[in-house]
Structure 1
Amino acid sequence: MNALLIKTEQGQQAFKARSAQLAGKLRSAYLLFDGQRTVQDVLKATQGLGVTLQDIDALQQAGLLAAMQPLPAELEPVALAKLRTPQERYRDAYPLAVALTGKLGLSGFRLNLSVEGATGYEALAAVAPKIKEAVGQQAYVSLEQALFA
């Protein structure tokens, strides 16, 4: 229940297509999974909507959410960059980008929508300079590492 879940590419496509799998309360819960909030955090936040652990399990079983995989500590950043595919870079960077733009509040709403609309590495890398401009270099470092290191 303390697991960190992130949106999958399949989930993002279902979200954009307004799939019935993500209707109503599940759509609201799905939006909260950013790799920073635990399942328990999302359940608390959506308690009033009636989202249950079974609902979240169903999203995971459908392939719309996936467990966030921790990176092995023994991998150095240089070696990691050589090993990671663009899809892996996207998977690692996406939750960071969502978290950074989410902290901007209403002023970052459009930027957050751009991040949510980025369904692949290239699209997220294209939005990255705007994120850097909005949050500043210090906050941007982790995203830069995830995308380009």
Structure 2
Amino acid sequence: MTTSKTTAGHQVLKDRSAGLSPRQRAALILFDGKRTVQDVLAVTSPTGVTPADIDRLVQMGLVAEQGAAVRPPEFGPDSQPASLWVSVSPAPSANERYLRAYEVGIQLTAELGTRASHLLLAVEAAESLDELVELAPRLRAALLPLQFARFEAALHGR
């Protein structure tokens, strides 16, 4: 079952009020409602995240398992089919872009292993979108072009 951040989890990411370790914070960021606990552990295990770290996030009420998927509404004979609807998503806010770029930056620098631990720490220390933008040239130098493209897309909300 997938797990996601609770409202409290989102707030802790914004104000850094819970005193989480860098490992726990990195794991918390990755809980997006699409990943399972095992997925997050697989991605973060190179950085030292353990099941005990995830248990602490659950105990603190920062993450929770997702419920069953919401079923789409059923259509009657007089209803317009969903295929004719047009949905326009608003552009992501600066905070949403920061959170996404932070998440991608953590993932990518963690994949680099110990040789780039300084970059992982730099990404973890970034507290705003502007700080991640300033860090981008260092990440570009360390990452493969396709990896950096993922980070850059997150920075720009694409």
Larger Rg: 2
1:124 corresponds to 2:126: no
Structure 1 partner of 2:98: 90
Distance 2:11 2:128 in 1: 8
Which ranges in structure 1 are unaligned for 5 or more consecutive residues?
A: 68-73
SS in 2 for 1:3: strand
Q: 1:96 to 1:11 in 2, by over 3 A?
A: same
1:35 corresponds to 2:26: no
| Corresponding letter in the other structure for 1:125 | V
SS in 1 for 2:62: helix
> What is the aligned length?
125
RMSD over aligned Cα, in angstroms?
3.7
1:140 corresponds to 2:143: no
Q: When the two structures are superposed, what TM-score results if normalisation uses the length of structure 2?
A: 0.59
Distance 2:125 2:153 in 1: 21
Cα deviation, residue 46, structure 1: 2.7
Distance 1:57 1:50 in 2: 10
| Contact preservation (8 Å) 1:3, 1:39 | yes
| Corresponding letter in the other structure for 2:37 | Q
Which ranges in structure 2 are unaligned for 5 or more consecutive residues?
A: 43-48, 67-86
